[in-house]
Amino acid sequence: MGPNGARGILAIDPGNDAGWSFWTPEGLGSCGLGPPPIPCIREAGVLAIEFPMVYPDEQRVDPNRLIVLAMNAGRHVERVLTHNTRVKVYGFRPRTWKGAQAKVVHHDHLRRAMAKVDEALACSCMAKVPESKKHNVWDAVALGKWALARVNTDSLAHMSDYKFGDL
């Protein structure tokens, strides 16, 4: 899946309360809130991270908040590369990987599409995550699942809005 035998996909939703997930070809390995654990970073062959996008026709979000979000995304990329220089980094705009669906609808579709064992693991990992923050982890789980379905087809690289050399 990744360079030098690394087998995992690390996905990060980089908000102030970042969510992360780690996927292998067998399914979800772990997920959580906050910085991803170093073992997940070191085992990742791919980092899939959401990068913000200003949609000029929609002023739902203060553009200044998106600047902070972009800085957070860059911080996460730097942290991952500090611990794993072999990882392939792909950045995706939200609409590239999840379309324009509302979070509640998107997360409902995700949970119905997930293997029951993966959903149970995600729920277990989020047991101590405050309810108001769980959406961040679900976004990371969804991004990781989306990336896993595309990583072996080369479409992941072609669909990436930002590749590491572009950052």
**How do beta strands 27-33 and 88-92 pair?**
unpaired
Q: What is the pLDDT of residues 31-56, one digit of tens each?
A: 999 999 999 999 999 999 998 887 77
Query: If we measure between CA atoms, which residue out of 37, 8, 31 comes closest to residue 19?
Result: 31
Rounded Cα–Cα distance for residues 31 and 29 (Å): 7
Q: What is the pLDDT of residues 64-87, one digit of tens each?
A: 888 898 999 999 999 999 999 999
Angstrom CA distances, 65 to 33, 49, 54, 62, stand at 20, 17, 10, 5
Identify the structural domains of the chain with CATH numbers, from first to last: 3-166 (3.30.420)
